[in-house]
Amino acid sequence: MAILPILRYPHEILLTESNEVRAITPDIERLVKDMIETMHAAPGVGLAANQIGVNLRVAVVDLTAGEKPGEILVLVNPRVLENIGVYVEDEGCLSLPGFTESVKRPERCVIEAMDLDGRVRTLEGNGLMARAFNHEIDHLNGRLFIEHLTPLKRRLIKKKVQKRIRAGDWDLVPA
Ligand code: NI
């Protein structure tokens, strides 16, 4: 297992749609282990494979941030079946450290995803879980949470990031 660098906006792979996983192989199992370790080390409550440079549709979610190993969800090829309601709350992303903004997300979300045993399961999440499902599936579609902000707010964040890149204070691939 390994803790890998988490790529930062605007790294190209974060802005690119990821590919479907064809089968659960030892490589996918290893990828998931690395993702879980990297997510917990950050610490974070969710991570998509493209955040560590792998353009496959795999995400992990753990709202306990490592407190309860049984709560880790592995989502392979996840897709939203239904989004219900709206709720607004602060949201951030490990690929945009230091930036949080209120983001409108569904209150409840039903997804379908494959697990590491290759079974396709239906999962339902409310509140933070619905937010995490949508945030991670967005990642797999090459979208970050700033896409949900007003153009003005988004531009402001982009400007701040560009400024930090020029200052040498923001590496797209952190050491
Ligand atoms: Ni994120």
pLDDT digits (tens, 9 = 90+) for 88-137: 999 999 999 999 999 999 999 999 999 999 999 999 999 999 999 999 99
47 C-alpha to ligand 1 centroid (Å) = 6
145 C-alpha to ligand 1 centroid (Å) = 7
Average pLDDT, the chain: 97
Question: pLDDT category, 66, cuts 50, 70, 90?
Answer: confident
91 is catalytic: no
Domains and CATH numbers, the chain: 12-167 (3.90.45.10)
132 C-alpha to ligand 1 centroid (Å) = 9
The closest of 124, 48, 117 to 81, measured between CA atoms, is 124
- Each residue of 17-44: b (16+ CB within 10 Å) or e? ebeebeebeeebeebbebbbbbbbebeb
pTM: 0.96
pLDDT at 68: 87
